[in-house]
Structure 1
């Protein structure tokens, strides 16, 4: 199971992909630049820009049963494995 904190992003803004040939899980998105400022101060609360994270999956991964869900800014990707005898 993979969990990622993605505050401020909506489910439709996050891309979860599986590269079957290489057994790689890829999570990517882009966050717009946010800032607040006035004449006396300037503040940026979060990093902005694109991000991508890649994870190699084990040989016994059930590639067609990977599921992803997002709730309250937390992405959860469940990667089931073949049972070992």
Structure 2
């Protein structure tokens, strides 16, 4: 909520905006803080700037469809295949996992040790004609590709007789 105040008649048209809602102001301050954190924190190496409601990083995913299937593609550089989970739960395709990065080196009496961890998750509602029992996923060179076949039988509407 904002109040807009203008200068009296005869003066230049200056407009000042004053926040009157303390929660809106707090949210704006937190948004600015989180933007600064993502730019400079160790987790910035995840390269996934947005987070979901649960606070986990959310990698970008591409979606496409053809007559025979829906395809979801995500770039997950540095993530091991064993650290990725793909599941279908209640009509939702859920992709989650963890990115781990460890570096430990000793050179010229200097030891450099660095560890970064971060969980990620994305969830998508599947269309009515998605054959979720036949989902296929492959992971190659940091790219996850999930194919969900379409089933015309599932998309057919059922007419209900009214009694």
Report 1 or 2 for greater relative contact order, CA contacts < 8 Å, sequence distance ≥ 6.
1
TM-score, length-normalised on structure 2?
0.41
Give the 5 Å matches for 1:16-31.
16-19=86-89, 22-31=90-99
Instruction: List 4+ stretches of structure 1 deviating above 6 A.
Output: none
Specify the structure having the higher radius of gyration (Cα).
Answer: 2
State how many pairs are aligned. Answer: 77
Deviations 1:18-68 (A, max 9, x none): 11xx210000011135579xxxxxxx9xx8411100000001111111100
2: CA distance between counterparts of 1:6 and 1:32?
A: 11
Q: Give the superposed CA RMSD.
A: 2.5
- Secondary structure of 1:79's match? strand
Q: Which runs of 5+ in 1 are unaligned?
A: 37-43
Q: Which runs of 5+ in 2 are unaligned?
A: 1-70, 105-113, 157-163
TM-score, length-normalised on structure 1?
0.75
